[in-house]
Amino acid sequence: MKRGYVYLIGAGPGDPGLMTIKGLECLSRADVVIYDYLANPQFLEQAPQAELIYVGKRKGLHHYPQEQINRLLLEKAGAGKVVARLKGGDPYIFGRGGEEAMALAEAGIPFEIVPGVTSAVAAAAYAGIPMTHRDCTTTLGFATGHEDPAKKLSSLDWEKLSTAVGTLVFYMGIANLENICSQLIAHGRPPETPVALVRWATTPKQQTLTGTLADIVNIVRETDFKPPALIFVGDVVKYRDSLRWFDNRPLFGKRILVTRSRAQATDFCNSLQALGAEPVCCPMIEIVSPESMADLDAAIDVLPDADYLILTSANAVEAFFGRLDELGRDARAVTGLKLVTVGPKTAETLTAYGLKPDMIPADYRAEGLVEMLEGQVAGKTVIYPKAELARDVIPTQLAAAGATVIDPVAYRSVVPEDAETCLQQALAEGLDLLTFTASSTVRNLVALLDEAQLAEVAKLPIASIGPLTSRTAEEAGLPVAIEPEDYTIDAMLAAMVEYFKATNREQTEQGV
């Protein structure tokens, strides 16, 4: 029988970028993934082949007691499986990883520890708190605050702990915050010592609350600040106002629906994350091939006799050159043609094939392209690979200008199978903004909503990439709050930032 093996992997605090490369590699080898509540679920995508077993614990709800988790590790590894035990933070820092490793060692099952970024280190960094600073302290201590308040005697030696180090960090201590503060003050910490509480660290939901040992308990009550959270005690907390960088980004904490196709959503989502938002990827379209390639193939056959090739989207570029490749041809097939693209993103996609456009209209719409070309296409042949539901502006008006226009369908869009489930979940969890980059994304989303849901969605701000998409949204009863002057993703992102800046200023002036 194949010998089993266990990786005890620290998944970090929540930001998927803080998982180690080695941890991801170990996940990709796993036959079984046993994971905790605190592990970011995105990591599970690294192990599509694995059996997934959730053993997480929440306050008041324990899916598996620790002894049962240990037995599960032994059972799966004993059956010859490669097991990835995915734990939030670091396995050996208040994660009971030592107990699991001991159970494996006693059973003779080989294992490996893959360290992770512990939540205290990450939370401090993302909250703008340097846990050591030579002007304040060069000593640091971690402790667990998760103790039974009914205990008459604490397992912590408060007399030594309170003043032994400059910065103290308590894990899982919000329920015992009052006891922690009173013990620290009673054993020598000044009441005015700064305190910070950080919850949901490194995620767009991160919240940080500051005060002192004397008043932080009342502040928590007044703000209804809930666990889980870490507690930082020490003068280093005072640096937060100067060093915060994560939770003061312009879109921080905003849940933004992204309706682009999965193939095109990655860059947009990455840009949203860089601005502090939580992108909720819910594609409303999926790009697929036309039902027949005959018209596109016929257009490709006449390329040597054509004068212009018009490409109005990144999808058109990918579909056209993808079909060229399937036919055993390459970019040399467009030699001698004038290449026309609508907008910089389409042009950028074209450069991946070693080509640059000859012409780009100033107005990134079909109307702008027609205005640019109509005086020079008389007697010319124009190839225009298009979407199945594309408007007829380009072929109709260029034909009226004297051109022979060949406009085969190169691709079509369909609604993804999981679109409705994804949308309902996104709405249930709450959104701050919806984004649309094509009229089809609007129509497909609206078709998935009942009348009551549509009325609720209409209350949310809508960002549209341009006037055509905006018109479709308005006609569907969705008022558009954001539309950039330039019809590009970058311009839309900039407009979203300005919108929320103005909203925040208005709320501040109103005392909200």
Spell 333-369 as b/e; 16+ CB within 10 A means b.
bbeebbbbbbbebbbebbeebebebebbbeebbbbbb
Residue 501 is among the residues annotated as catalytic for this protein: no
The one-character DSSP state at 67 is H
Handedness of CA 173, 176, 177, 181 (dihedral sign): negative
- β pairing state of 167-171 and 229-233: antiparallel
Give the whole-angstrom CA distance, residue 121 versus residue 109: 31
Give bridge partners of residue 195 from the DSSP assignment: 211, 233
List residues bridging with 198 in a β-sheet: 208, 230
Task: With beta carbons less than 8 A apart as the criterion, state whether 1 and 76 touch.
Answer: no
Give the closest residue to 475 by CA, choosing from 454, 460, 453: 454
Rounded CA separation 279/127 (Å): 21
**Catalytic annotation present for 345:** no
Give the whole-angstrom CA distance, residue 278 versus residue 281: 9
Three-point CA angle 285, 287, 293, nearest 5°: 145
User: Which of 31, 36, 90, 407 is flagged as catalytic?
Assistant: 36
Q: Which of 309, 312, 317, 303 is nearest to 382 (CA)?
A: 309
Active site residue 57: yes
User: Among residues 57, 235, 363, 490, which one is catalytic?
Assistant: 57
| Nearest alpha-carbon partner for 74 in 115, 26, 110 | 110
Distance CA 411, CA 40 (A): 35
Q: What is the DSSP string of 477-498?
A: T----B--SS-SHHHHHHHHHH
Catalytic residue among 19, 172, 284, 492: 172
CA distance 210 to 219: 8
Q: Are 55 and 84 within 8 A, CB to CB?
A: no
Helix, strand or coil, per DSSP, at residue 252: coil
CA-CA distance, 441 to 210, in Å (whole number)?
42
Catalytic residues: 36, 57, 172
